[in-house]
Amino acid sequence: MPITLPELKDWTFSVDNESIAWAVIDREGESMNALGRRPTEELARIVAAVEAPRPARSRASS
């Protein structure tokens, strides 16, 4: 099950095909990417989503 995080305003979040999670800050409406309240709260949501247990992927038997 993919990790989805709708409504992030200051981060772009993705997981690549090697299961590496990427969080890139790009503050909406700001010229500087400084951590403030909203970006920090969004980062906490990202970390919680990545740490949440997910079902193990099954392997196809040969």
Q: Band of the pLDDT at 62, cuts 50, 70, 90?
A: low
Number of continuous H segments (helices) and E segments (strands) in the chain: 1, 2
Q: Give residue 44's pLDDT.
A: 96
pLDDT at position 57 over 80: no
First CA to last CA distance, the chain:
23
Kindly report, residue by residue over 14-52, the tens digit of the pLDDT. Answer: 999 998 999 999 998 889 999 999 999 999 999 999 998
Instruction: Note the pLDDT tens digit of each residue in 1-14.
Output: 678 888 999 999 99
The string of DSSP codes covering 27-55 is -TT-SS----HHHHHHHHHHHHHHHS--P
